[in-house]
Structure 1
Amino acid sequence: MRIVINGFGRIGRTVLRQVLSLPQDNTVEVVRINDIAPLETCAYLFKYDSVFGPYPGEVTFSDECLKVDGRTIPFTAEPDLSAADLAGVDVVMECTGKADTLDIAERGLKAGAANVLISGPSPAAEITLVLGANEEKLGDHRIVSNGSCTTNALAPLLRGIDDAIGIKSGHMTTIHCYTGSQPMVDAPRGPLERSRAGGVSMVPTTTSATKLVGKVLPRLEGKVSGAAVRVPAISVSAVDLTLTLAEPLNIPANTALQNIFSDNPVIGFTNDRVVSTDMRARPESLVIALPETLEANERQVRIFGWYDNEWGFSARMIDMARLMAGR
């Protein structure tokens, strides 16, 4: 699979780290990186990462190429990707965060690539897909949104439980680390509370995940509400979900969860009493924390799970790209 990373920010760089960790003879190849930032800066930010630590290999750059462990990856700075020659490229990973219009979203296709995968919610996408929730709807769609990190954590969990037991209603709170959409010092943003310094306060806000769940799982639209609290942590977030089930549980909730998701590759479990930093660089979309499960009664259960909103989401980008390229 030949991929292009368009936008070498948090997700673009994390995708590259994961691709480079695969065996040398693996079928995933990054054939180009495109970003308007200087190559020197991009190489530096790839080599030294405040979340995942320094890259363990050799990182250099020269002649419009990023060089990592002997691999040479062409690096371009096209502000409009449609001007590039991407013939033979299977998937453009659109990681700029700017693909909100069809004009931008389809530039990879205009350049000759077979597919575009957007690393976030986008009204310009033909469909929003989440692995473990609705990937069977891929069909012939060529511009696909991979949803949000929280949607990837929540939707497979809801799909599995609704299939097995049924969901009457629920509420989810994501306890989310700060991101680049928040200022590090008080500064004007859209919502007033999002104008406050992200590194020092817990900030109540909204989440797109519950709206996206309605797109991904239409049968649950209107059944699950959601909110977010941004917290002063640099990585790893959590889902705190309370569900009213359609049918009573006749076994312990943790047993039911492990039965439902025993063979699910995007849902993991931990029985340890961990904290968020222990979950850094976990590849699952969600890691259910079994000690945190609570049962109010036979129909109401609280489920708590961790997700690395960068590493896990980037892993799903690669998985989804494989699915799209494999058609």
Structure 2
Amino acid sequence: MRIVINGFGRIGRTVLRQILTQPDRLGVTVAAINDIAPLETCAYLFKYDSVFGPYPGPVDAGEASLTVGDLEIPFTQEPDLSTRDLEGVDVVMECTGKADTDEIARRGLEAGARNILISGPSRAAERTLVLGANEEDLGEHRIISNGSCTTNALAPLLRGLDDAIGIESGHMTTIHCYTGSQPMVDAPRGPLERSRAGGVSMVPTTTSATKLVGKVVPQIDGRITGAAVRVPTISVSAVDLTVTWKRAVSDAVNDLLQQIFAGSPVIGFTGDRVVSTDMRTRPESLVIALPETLSASDRQARIFGWYDNEWGFSRRMIDMARLMSER
């Protein structure tokens, strides 16, 4: 599979790190990277990462290439990707965060690439797909949104639970690390609470996953509410879900969870009493923490799970790109 990474920010760099540090590079060839930032800066940020640590090998900036180990990747700085020649590229990973209009989202197709995969919610996407929830809806669509990290954590969980047991209603709170959308010192940012320094306070706010989950798993649309609390940690987030079942559940909830998601490539489990840093670089979309499960009655349960909002989401980008390229 040949890909181009357009936008070398948190997700673009994490995608590349995963590819280059996995056996056989996950069968992926990175044909090029495109970012308007200086190449030297991009190389530095790839080499030294505040979340994942230094890259385990040499990283150098050439005249027009990023060299990682023995691999030399062409690096361009085109504001408009449609000016590139992308014939033979299976998937453009659109990681700029700007592909919210059809004109921008289609630029990779106009350059000759077969598919566009957007690393976030986008109004320009023909479909929003989440592995483990609705990938069967891919069809022949060429511009796909991979949703959000929280949607990837929540949607497969809800789909599996509703199919197996039936969900009457539920509420999800994502306890989410701070992101680049928050200021590090108090500064205007739209919603008043989002204007506060992200590194010193817990910030109650909204989450795009609430709306996206209804699109991705339409059978539960309107039955799940959601909210977020941004917390002053740099990586790894959590889903705290309370559900009311459509029928009484007499079996132990943890036993049911492990039966429902046995063999799932996107839902994992831990029986240990872990904290968020222990879950860094876990590749699953969600890791259910079995010791945290609670049952208020045979009709209600609390399910808690961790997700590395950068590493896990980036792995799903690679998985979804492969699904698109193999059609």
**Short-chain TM bin:** over 0.9
Aligned to 1:209: 209
Counterpart CA distance in 1 for 2:316 and 2:33 is 19
Whether 2:122 is the aligned partner of 1:122: answer: yes
Partner amino acid, structure 1, of 2:187: A
Write the mapping of 1:191-230 to structure 2, written as runs, cut at 5 A.
191-230=191-230
Asked whether the equivalents of residues 119 and 147 of structure 2 are also in contact (C-alpha less than 8 Å), the reply is yes
Q: Specify whether residues 47 and 126 from structure 1 end up closer, same or farther in structure 2 by C-alpha distance, changes over 3 A only.
A: same
Task: Name the structure 2 match of 1:300.
Answer: 300
Tell me the residue number matched to 2:170.
Answer: 170
Alignment of 1:1-327 (within 5 A): 1-24=1-24, 26-327=26-327
Gap change, CA 1:134 and 1:26, over 3 Å in 2? closer
Distance 2:315 2:26 in 1: 15
Deviations 1:149-206 (A, max 9, x none): 0000000000000000000000000000000000000000010000000000000000
Give TM-score scaled by structure 2 length.
0.99
* Ranges in structure 2 where 5+ consecutive residues have no aligned partner: none
Q: CA deviation at 1:25?
A: 6.8
Q: Which runs of 5+ in 1 are unaligned?
A: none
Deviations 1:71-101 (A, max 9, x none): 0000000000000000000000000000010
Amino acid at match of 1:35: D
Partner Cα distance (1:221, 1:8) in 2: 34
Matched residue type, 1:171:
H
SS in 1 for 2:3: strand
RMSD: 0.7
Q: TM-score, normalised by structure 1?
A: 0.99
Counterpart-to-counterpart distance in 1, 2:37 and 2:52: 21
Aligned residues: 327
1:256-308 deviation per Cα after TM superposition (whole angstroms, max 9, x unaligned)? 00000011110000000000000000000000000000000001000000000
Q: Deviations over 1:191-250 (max 9, x none)?
A: 000000000000000001010011101111100000000000000000000000111112
How far apart in 1 are the matches of 2:248 and 2:260?
15
Q: CA deviation at 1:26?
A: 4.8
